[in-house]
Structure 1
Amino acid sequence: MKVNGTRFLDVAGSRNAAVAALATITGFYYLFVAITNCTDTDTNRNAVAAVLSMKSTIHKGGTDWRAITNGNVALVAYILIVIWEFLIAFALLAGALQWGRVLLRRGRDATAGAAVAVGLSSLGWTMAVLLFAGGFLTVGGEWFRMWANDDVDASSAALQNFLIAGVGLILVHLPERDTAARR
């Protein structure tokens, strides 16, 4: 079966289609996360405050000084996290839309559109890596000892998000095989 002069499987089974699907799924995921953080602010805002305060973790004189107990600082950190999640979602969803356009086009238009799609998708997944590997695993996990927090340990969720973003980054930067060569 041919679509727009191209075999359906060459399009639907391509790396571009896989990247488009992953960008769409992860874009909506981060949008839902950000919206949930806006509609259920108490749960997640309190979790951020609990991690920063280090109140339910291993207490040692050499690490307790790291605790941030100021509620305003915790609120600002929470707001910045939510804004960052919205930005991730917008970058990935814009990338997904661009991937959709690429999959429907051929020739020079598709090549130019693919460069924009790669850039947007890469930006979104890089932002996710920064948030989850940098923010949650490194700063929250190690600096504020979230991994040892009895009330809040989001380390496994942060690792999950980091790995999905890492897969997206690898996939988006793999070269696209020439569909004519596969025939």
Structure 2
Amino acid sequence: MIVRLVKVAMVVSCALFALLVAFNNFVDYGSNYAFVRHTLSMDTTFPGNALTGRAITSPAIWTLGYWLIIAAEAVTGLILVFGSLRLALAVRGPAALFNAAKPVVVLGMGLGFLLWFTGFTVIGGEWFAMWQSKEWNGVPPAFRFYATLLLVLIFVMQPDGD
């Protein structure tokens, strides 16, 4: 029983994290909008960077991109809340019931991975060379986020017995 409860608590923690990030991005819109603006415009990458032809300088696209990030964070959190509720409702039930509740968690963790690995590390970090910026490099925090999600997902997906 304790393993199942820990799995539920870990998924709840990941849900809380994603929802809090979305909330913070909404409440402190300007600070994090600046992050998106600098990343997409590539204005803080190395001088003479040969990749700056990829830069996006349209405020409309910066805004759209930022709202897509906030939406993905919020949806990730909401899916994980739903997944944790499904796990919690099945925590005392047979193993088959508890294991059957896990796909929702996979969906939430998968969306979070796509956001923080594909979005921040692949697109932001490599395509827009975010790693070159001393002020606006979100690659290390993104790694902490998606690595945590993956580790929790691996633990949650371990089969549970009766």
Instruction: Please indicate, yes or no, whether the TM-score normalized by the shorter chain is above 0.5.
Output: yes
SS in 2 for 1:56: coil
In 2, are the aligned partners of 1:50 and 1:151 still within 8 Å (CA)? no
Indicate the residue corresponding to 2:157 in structure 1: 173
Q: How big is the alpha-carbon RMSD for the aligned residues of Structure 1 and Structure 2?
A: 1.5
**Separation in 2 of the partners of 1:92 and 1:19?**
12
**Separation in 1 of the partners of 2:117 and 2:49?**
26
SS in 2 for 1:44: helix
Query: 1:115 aligned to 2:107?
Result: no
TM-score (normalizing by structure 1)? 0.83
Query: 1:46 aligned to 2:47?
Result: no
In 2, are the aligned partners of 1:28 and 1:89 still within 8 Å (CA)? yes
Q: How far does residue 113 in structure 1 lie from its aligned partner after superposition?
A: 4.9
Q: How many pairs were matched up?
A: 162
**Separation in 2 of the partners of 1:102 and 1:29?**
23
Q: What residue ranges of structure 2 are gaps of 5+ in the alignment?
A: none
In 1, are the aligned partners of 2:131 and 2:138 still within 8 Å (CA)? yes
Q: How far does residue 155 in structure 1 lie from its aligned partner after superposition?
A: 1.1
Letter aligned with residue 93 of structure 2:
R
SS in 1 for 2:154: helix
* Superposed CA offset, 1:133-182 (max 9, x none): 10100100011111111320111110000100110221122122x35xxx
**Separation in 2 of the partners of 1:152 and 1:143?**
14
Q: What residue ranges of structure 1 are gaps of 5+ in the alignment?
A: 1-10
TM-score (normalizing by structure 2)? 0.93
**Separation in 1 of the partners of 2:67 and 2:25?**
9
Greater radius of gyration (CA): 1
